[in-house]
Homo-oligomer: A and B are copies of this chain.
Amino acid sequence: MATMVQVAEMAGVSISTVSHVLNGTRHVEPETKQRVLDAISRTGYRQDALARALRRSRTDSIGLVVPDAGEPAFAEMVHGVEHAAANLGLTLILANSAENPEREERATHALLDRRVDGLILGRAAVSTPGLLQLLEEEKTPIVLLDRVFPDLPFDQVGADNREPMERLVAHLIAAGHRRFALMAGDIRVPTLRERGEGFGNAIRAAGLDPADQIVLSGTDDDELKDRLLDAFRAPARPTAVIAGSTPLAVSALRTARTAGLTIPGEVAFAAFDGFNHSDLFEPQITTVRQPAFDVGVAAVRLLADRLHDGDARPRTVRLQQSIEFRASTEDFPGVDADRVADAVAEPA
């Protein structure tokens, strides 16, 4: 590979001049400039991004750590981040922690050691003390992605999770549902916790008895399924199930199948994040859709702003989710009238 030295020799100028025509950083006589340009194209010279970065102390790259590259929602965020980064001329270094605290810390260090100009971090459900300390001390701008932590002094982007859950549950209550099962999942994850909170808010706001609601939280998928199955087989089974994420939705759907319950005939169903092309398949699932691509874009935007003004006050951006109402919550034959009467008779 040719270096500036060979270009300079061929053009009969100093490497300083080559550098300046390359970067347009000072005036160069048109004629010499042309000689340099010719030498560049004849040698096929290309700037070495590494050496340039070392000298300038900027890499024009950003790092992205996601907690689960396999989940479609995160894959979409990666897509959005890549897109926005490319638009700014930044290259993207990607790492996946796979919800593993050690991998998360290692990946974060690896990216920082590569001197990324900024880092977008979707934290794992649980982080190492080392990572938390690193976050505190690190000077490189960091944006937290998807999983929003209230008290951290970082720019953060995520979806608004409580509001759509409240709206969804209110909708189902208005349709007559009184007993819900929520597949809440790992509530150490802010996203899932917030969705769970939205659920609680809606139940209380409607004056329903929280004791009638089944909230299944935990990290053991098999156990969640078992508990949901028990609920399905109990005398007063839930008439509506809400899943807080795609994996939880898969578990819920499998459990409904195991229990022999049809959707929406025997149980209503809705999911956050959900499945692609839900409009094409039965059951048509009511879905709270997160603008995952845009969340990624917004993260880059926050990062770029911070790169530009390091002292601005940290911002937390919440993107709105939309609810795609479909048959899975609409076409059920109606809730058992007795049970509805019970629930209404003895509000919380």
- Tell me which of B50, B86, B96 contacts A96 (CB under 8 A): B86
* Smallest beta-carbon distance A109→chain B, Å: 7
Interface residue stretch chosen among A166-174, A275-283, A300-308: A275-283
Partner of A95, one of B86, B111, B281: B86
Chain B positions within 8 Å of A276 at CB level = 72, 275-276
Query: Is A107 located at the chain interface by the 8 A CB criterion?
Result: yes
- Residue pair B94, A82 in contact (C-beta under 8 Å): yes
Contacts of A69 in B (CB 8 A): 78-79, 82-83
| Complex copy number for this chain | 2
- Asked, given contacts A49-B113, A253-B280, whether A72 binds B70 with beta carbons under 8 Å apart, the answer is no
Instruction: Fill in one digit per residue for A147-160: 1 if any B CB lies within 8 Å of its CB, else 0.
Output: 00000000000000
Across the interface, do A78 and B51 meet the contact criterion of CB distance under 8 Å? no
Cα distance, A115 to B137, chains bound together (Å): 30
Within the complex, which residue of B46, B51, B75, B109 is in contact with A109, where a contact is CB–CB below 8 Å? B46
- How distant is the Cα of A329 from the Cα of B49 in the complex, in angstroms? 53
Q: Which residues of B contact A110 (CB under 8 A)?
A: 49, 91
Q: Which residues of B contact A109 (CB under 8 A)?
A: 46
How distant is A289 from chain B, measured CB to nearest CB, in Å?
15
Q: Which residue in B47, B50, B98, B277 is a CB contact (below 8 Å) of A54?
A: B50
Q: Does A37 contact B (CB under 8 A)?
A: no
Report if A221 contacts B (CB, 8 A).
Answer: no
Q: Which residues of A contact B (CB under 8 A)?
A: 1, 44, 46-51, 53-54, 59, 61, 69-70, 72, 75-76, 78-79, 82-83, 86, 91-96, 98, 103, 107, 109-115, 137, 139, 250, 253-254, 257, 275-277, 280-283
Query: 9 smallest A-B Cβ distances: which pairs?
Result: A281-B281, A75-B75, A282-B282, A69-B79, A49-B113, A49-B114, A94-B94, A253-B280, A50-B54
User: What are 24 A-B residue pairs whose CB atoms fall within 8 Å in the complex?
Assistant: A46-B112, A49-B110, A49-B113, A49-B115, A50-B53, A50-B54, A50-B115, A69-B83, A75-B75, A79-B96, A82-B94, A83-B96, A86-B96, A86-B103, A86-B107, A91-B95, A93-B94, A94-B94, A253-B280, A281-B281, A281-B282, A281-B283, A282-B282, A282-B283
